[in-house]
Structure 1
Amino acid sequence: MTVLKVDATLADFSAHFDRLIASPAAASDGKLKLLLFLADREPGSSLTWCPDCNVAEPVIYERLEALQGRDAVLLRAYVGDKPTWRDPAHPWREDPKFGIKGVPTLIRWENGGAAARLGDEEAHLKDKVDALLGVGGN
């Protein structure tokens, strides 16, 4: 099992999304497609400005390691700094494909849309992440 992790910002997200998730070739490659919307990392730190993201990220990565026999693509989309994210007109808040209300948000993408989603209140719960990923809990 291999997990390809790709980081994206508002500026380059569309190109990564189209290539890795939405293109016909990507859609038919059999890989699990995941989008993880996160707060930007603090300068000089491995942590984000969002406490919920800092709790959920290790859980999500640990559960991804439990995937057996299935390759995955994880597109990590960084929403920006606090003022950028707090703007009600943030592009990912307004985009009906994503409709992000909070960070972190983990989405399993299938057949051209969101097949499952965990918002900021659930993305740190192992059993919920396992269910989204389609793996058995430990």
Structure 2
Amino acid sequence: MVAKVEKICGYDEFVASIGKLAKTAENVNVLFTGKKDETGHSWCPDCNDAEPFVKKYGIDNAAPDSLFVIVDVGDRPTWKDMKNSFRLDRNTHLSVIPTLINWNEKAKRLEGDQLCKPELLDMYFEQD
């Protein structure tokens, strides 16, 4: 079943929205990814590679009460800035994109090329 998907652009919108969104579902997964252009492709090749895997093994097969929050971390220069707010935020601790975090269990996360491995995604999305 397809989960509900919310899209957020930038750190300020993320901070303003995540608390409210996290209250709407028991299972909240946050995917941090690079900004997409008008063709729908991100400047981040790893994000483009991971997208079909996350869709197939996560969004399309998630429990109906799941929420996916897709967060655009900005363009390449914004992301590469070591003082980028997403990198400094103690709740996200991002050092790599794409990163997928279960907001309810922040220790549950996949980063980079881990998001292109079906077996890791299956374990991540395995329902207790």
Task: Output the CA distance in 2 between the equivalents of 1:51 and 1:132.
Answer: 22
Match of 2:109 in 1: 117
Alignment coverage as a number of residue pairs: 125
TM-score normalised to the size of structure 2? 0.89
Encode CA deviations 1:47-87: one digit per residue, 9 max, x unaligned: 100111001011101112223x5421111111100000000
Q: Radius of gyration: which is bigger? A: 1
Alignment of 1:63-74 (within 5 A): 63-64=57-58, 65-67=60-62, 69-74=63-68
Q: Which has the higher helix share?
A: 2
Instruction: Give 5+ residue unaligned stretches, structure 2.
Output: none
Residues 33 and 108, structure 1, Cα contact 8 Å, conserved in 2: yes
Alignment of 1:1-138 (within 5 A): 1-10=1-10, 11-21=12-22, 23=23, 26=24, 29-30=25-26, 32-42=27-37, 44-64=38-58, 65-67=60-62, 69-110=63-104, 113-134=105-126
**Residue identity in the other structure for 2:111:** G
Residues 37 and 79, structure 1, Cα contact 8 Å, conserved in 2: yes
Deviation at 1:2, TM superposition (A): 4.2
Residues 34 and 73, structure 1, Cα contact 8 Å, conserved in 2: yes
Residues 50 and 113, structure 2, Cα contact 8 Å, conserved in 1: no
TM-score normalised to the size of structure 1? 0.83
SS state at 2:100 partner:
strand
Instruction: Give 5+ residue unaligned stretches, structure 1.
Output: none
